[in-house]
Amino acid sequence: MGAWVFTGYRVQHNKARGPYKGGVRYHPSVDLDEVKALAAWMTFKTAVVDIPYGGAKGGVVCDPKRLSSGEVERLTRRYTAMIMDEIGPFKDVPAPDVGTDAQVMAWMMDTYSSLKGYSVPEVVTGKPIALGGSYGREEATGKGVAVCAREAAKKIGLRLKGATLAVQGYGKVGYWSAEALVEMGCKLIAVTDAGGGAYNPKGLDPRGLKEHERRSGSVSGYEGAEGISNEELFQLECDILVPAALENQISEEVASNVNAKIISEGANGPTTPGADKILYEKGVVVIPDILANAGGVTVSYFEWVQNLNRDRWPLETVNARLEGKMVSAFKAVSDLAEREGVSMRTSAYMLAVGKVAEAQSQLGLFP
């Protein structure tokens, strides 16, 4: 049997504010342009929530669902060995992304540590708890999405008790967003994923739905729910919409039919630029990805700090610090948007680019 050849990437965008930071994606559609865009997003995302990192991203062109666990392990170890000189706890700190998880991070850490000759848990984040992972990391991105939606609801005078919620994508981000918002009083009425959808205007149980999805591979066919398509989900009359799947899901055509009051972006780049303009003109509050889904990188930062100090924070400490970071970043972006009369997305970029430019300018040029 011949050897398989996979193409892998690691892109480093800017390090003016700290070591590079960014996920590793295993997906058939990974290409260099996508990885470059995600690395740049990360630079601005870390600046918005004011954590000392620059942006990077990695990826391997593969379909992990079609590979055995042993194949994914071997692919991961080879990829790590090949980017060994480009990563490191003070240079570039990878994390999980689409198609990767805590186990993949454990293999990356072990490969790097084995080649170094001593344990280096701080080289990656999003690890299993047993290997220095942080409590609260798995749910962090979704919780951040929910906190931002809650803050936006306060701004527009929307009561969360009974507010209707629709979620596209029911992976880690979609599920934890739904779980957190239902805890805050929202009613989950619709969810879609790659295999179909579930709709019940009386409300869906986020945990029951997740158990069904784990068993059957999709939210489709959940007991007591009707089927619903992505197109129908985006057109639903609802208070909060969370796109938590892949890029470019809300096009101009979709945006003109959106009936949500708040969109909290769980995915990276779910809204096209043209759609963004339409939503802003319609008065929909869009919380941009570089703010809404920054909870994951924030708790990754907490994990890195804990590892560097060989420390472990309790879950309550992690959640309280995450809450503080997200609320403060939301306020900064929202206040600037009001002052300048621009959308939250424009404001988030104004804030982020300003911080990166200031750091770059103060560093100067050498030699």
The reply to whether 171 falls in a domain is yes
The reply to whether 146 falls in a domain is yes
Query: Are 19 and 161 contained in the same domain?
Result: no
Query: Are 99 and 239 contained in the same domain?
Result: no
- Nearest-5° angle of CA 69, CA 70, CA 74? 120
Q: 237: how many CB neighbours lie within 10 A of its CB? A: 11
Cα(29)–Cα(41) distance, rounded to whole angstroms? 18
Give the CATH number, domain containing residue 228: 3.40.50.720
Active site residue 57: yes
Q: What pTM did the predictor assign?
A: 0.92
Give the rounded percent of residues in the chain with a pLDDT score beyond 90.
90
Give the CATH number, domain containing residue 126: 3.40.50.10860
Per the structure block, which two tokens stand in for 92? 């570039």
Cα(141)–Cα(174) distance, rounded to whole angstroms? 9
Query: Are 77 and 149 contained in the same domain?
Result: no
Q: Residue 328 half-sphere exposure, CB side, CA atoms within 13 Å?
A: 12
Cα(236)–Cα(230) distance, rounded to whole angstroms? 10
Amino acid making up residue 349: Y
The reply to whether 212 falls in a domain is yes
Query: Are 144 and 286 contained in the same domain?
Result: yes
Counted domains in the chain: 2
**Boundary (domain end) residue, out of 292, 320, 355:** 292
Mean pLDDT of the chain: 95
The reply to whether 259 falls in a domain is yes
Query: Are 174 and 273 contained in the same domain?
Result: yes
Inform me whether the pLDDT recorded for 38 exceeds 80. yes
**Boundary (domain end) residue, out of 115, 132, 149:** 132
pLDDT tens, residue by residue, 131-171: 999 999 989 999 999 999 999 999 999 999 999 999 999 98
- Cα distance between the two ends of the chain: 51
The reply to whether 356 falls in a domain is no
Q: Which domain holds residue 127?
A: 8-132
Query: Are 123 and 35 contained in the same domain?
Result: yes
Within the chain, residue ranges assigned H as helices are 32-48, 69-82, 102-116, 137-156, 172-183, 206-216, 230-235, 252-255, 273-282, 289-292, 295-308, 315-340, 344-363
**Boundary (domain end) residue, out of 103, 132, 161:** 132
The reply to whether 304 falls in a domain is no
pLDDT tens, residue by residue, 163-217: 999 999 998 899 999 999 999 999 999 999 988 999 999 999 999 999 999 999 9
The reply to whether 319 falls in a domain is no
Mean pLDDT of 46-73: 96
Bridge partners, residue 88, by sequence: 92
Could you tell me how far CA 342 lies from the centroid of its own chain? Answer: 24
Query: Are 144 and 204 contained in the same domain?
Result: yes
**227: helix, strand or coil:** coil
Mean pLDDT of 231-239: 92
* Catalytic pick among 15, 21, 45, 57: 57
Bridge partners, residue 166, by sequence: 190, 241
